[in-house]
Amino acid sequence: MSSKDRRERAEAVRTAVESNPEAVDVDELADLLVSKSREARRTAFEAYQALVSDRPSVADDVGARLETHLTDDAADVRERAALTTAAFADEHSGVVDGLVPALRSIGIDPAEPGREAAIVAIAKLAHVRPASITPAVDALVAICDDPVSTPASARDEGGGPGKSDAAAALQPERERRDQARLHAIAALTLLAADDPAAVRSAAPSIASLLEDDHHLIRAGACEVLEDLATAYPASVEPFTPELAERAATDTKHPVPWRAADALVALDAERAECVGEAVAPFASDLSRFLESSDADRRRAGVALVADAALARPESLESMRPTLRDLLSDDDAFVRMNAVIGLGAAGTDSDRATVADLADSDPDERVRETAIRVCGRFDGSPGSE
């Protein structure tokens, strides 16, 4: 059948939907949805949208037919089926729900031409049914860790990207892959927020993405690790140094803030570990402490307090900033500044902390100041 014939057949089906929806052959409609003609596919999709409002059961029938196409022997059919499924995921996610295993089989295979489309379909489904993508976690993680790289032969003598035809030819593929990778990491963040257990076993692979070249992949990895740190701190603890380095040295927004959030989440159960990891970078956290955003100051001062307790000497250059934070508008910031100065400050700093035990307007800060003064002057029962 020629492209013209396919387009005409799709238009005929659309007309039939308007005049006699009960008579429409659903299998034919589903076959047209994976037609070689893009225009025919678009027309068939419009016909489906109109038909399903009259015949809701059509959704299941089309889903079953699409599954057949997703597992077809021909790679080009599978690719078109994946593209169509991705289109369905936007407005008709119910059709896609049962197709995750078939999509996963395509998305996990680097040789599949429809790999990126399958990943996008899975990722779009995560926005409405995050739990349903659990069987495809490995495929999502795998494509995140598989960017398109410029081959060595296409690089200049200095090691940077060259201007060769080979490098230029890869650009469209690289952009498609990066779009799929961004969809994939977004889906993983949604799943981790909904069900951290579903991504727990993938923690090492997620942590490896902290070194990815794309800053949004790094930021997404931090988000996933934050949810894991809250639910399963032991699974994130081995990667605390990598998170600390991202928080302190990464210059691409929003990576440092996401990394800090993950460390703060881990702090609840692994404060000593966080402190040891952050201490070498303590002075680099000044951008958090000096931020006008209270949430960033909160995260930064919590990490600095951990570092002070783990390695007091690491905060020598931070004492003036901590003293300034004793008058911060936010009580949580003042409270952690008290802890930091109590651990790493001078006798004069501790005297200032002692004054806050009587003068601070917030009871939590006063109680913290009392405990800190007791701890560092050796009073019994003050730990």
DSSP line for 53-72: HH-TTHHHHHHHHHHHHHT-
Helices 100-107 and 115-126, interaxial angle, to 10°? 140
By the 8 A CB rule, do 382 and 357 touch? Answer: no
Give the global pTM. Answer: 0.89
Rounded to 10 degrees, what is the CA torsion of 286, 290, 295, 299? 20
Dist. CA 333–CA 25, nearest whole Å? 66
The secondary structure of residue 229, as a DSSP letter, is H
Dist. CA 331–CA 324, nearest whole Å? 13
The secondary structure of residue 361, as a DSSP letter, is S
By the 8 A CB rule, do 318 and 286 touch? Answer: yes
**Going residue by residue through the chain (383 aa), what tens digit of pLDDT does each one get?**
788 888 999 999 999 999 999 999 999 999 999 999 999 999 999 999 999 999 999 999 999 999 999 999 999 999 999 999 999 998 888 889 899 999 999 999 999 999 999 999 999 999 999 999 999 999 999 999 999 886 655 555 445 555 567 677 788 889 999 999 999 999 999 999 999 999 999 999 999 999 999 999 999 999 999 999 999 999 999 999 999 999 999 999 999 999 999 999 999 999 999 999 999 999 999 999 999 999 999 999 999 999 999 999 999 889 999 999 999 999 999 999 999 999 998 889 889 999 999 999 999 999 999 999 887 764 433 44
Could you tell me the CA-to-CA distances from 36 to 2, 21, 115 in Å, in that order? 9, 24, 18
| Among 178, 268, 253, CA closest to 222 | 253
